[in-house]
Chains A and B, each alone.
Chain A
Amino acid sequence: MSASTQAAPTPAAPRAEEKTSWIDTVVRAREVSLIGVLAILVIAVSLAEPRFLNAQNLRDILLNVTIVALLAVGQTIVVVTRNIDLSVGSILGITAFATGVMFADHNVPIPLVFIGGILFGACFGVVNGVMVAYARVPSLVITLGTLYVIRGIDYWWASGRQINAADMPDGFLSLATQNILGFPVLPLFTIVAMVIVGVVLGRSRTGRELYAIGSNPDAAVLAGIRVTRRVLGAFVASGAIAGLAGVLYASRYGTLDAVAGNGIELFAVSAVVVGGVAIFGGSGTVWGAALGALLLATIRSALVILQVNPFWEQAINGALLLLAIGLDAYLAMRLARELRKRSSHRV
């Protein structure tokens, strides 16, 4: 019976050659390619219309992108965990209105309004987070629900009321017009938030665990990561950032009613996807998301300055989105094919 032997082990096939095509480079650093696209866009448009590069126009682009970029930063935290937060537009709207109420009816000092707005937004984040993390209902459904519920509360609360710039202190409204060392103040809030979130996601254990959860939720459990707590935290952070965005919205536009920020969540999600954050989680950075928002805002401005029918703006945004998703799908397919070939030595 000692004749029992195993079939001779097959020698390992030579490792598939490491191919580095331009496409691999693109996927490694979406940020670099976004900057490239942005540069080409700016050069091309300013050749066609030199007014594009004037200081006032650049300033406007920056101010316009501030709020969407901030929402995109918050959205990134949620999306890397393989979730989505569609309620941010409504949270922004209701917080913007709350900001107006705090000033108009209660004379709350400016710093406290900021803190209040952030906490107010965070409360809605807690609601989203608890339902997603503990009830295990897909976040797409939960936050679609809260999108409408929060907007509904906003309508009920405002009940037709409009708060105007005259109701708010000048010191608050001037945040949108003043400069520090020649740089507008409002975008600084977004930049500070982006840097903080960027460092937390990129360089803290908690941040890396968020990526791990999005990359492989089952493995995250096996690795001992407290998944529910982390996902809850991501939604709270997203809500808090949407709250901050609501306060900035009030400062920028001055006129507040129940429709503030209606539909803005889709711009934020578009920016995140264009910015290379994988919609199924696990990869992408806030820098990419913010650049995505900047690219979309620049395109909008370019279309205005080139006097293109604004109808094209949405079509181009959509095309960019499809391009970004298509690129990701193509890369994933290629990788899968490569892997199957590579593992063929086991047969």
Chain B
Amino acid sequence: MRVVVDLNRCQSYAQCCYAAPEHFEVRGHEILFYDPAPPEAKRSQVERAQQACPVRAIAIEPAGLAEGDEP
């Protein structure tokens, strides 16, 4: 699956790190390192991270969206 975080919006509340610790990590005081391509099997966890974000900075490609829509 494909994920992108708007790091202009991100303020490192780190709620994503609690929801999906394997895919989001805060380094130093407030640098977010995240996995932009988590396995599809982890979708529910990553979507929980998206829901938990207080500044709504996480965007996720919906499942199956790009099928038949590929380059």
Please determine whether chains A and B interact with each other in the same assembly.
no
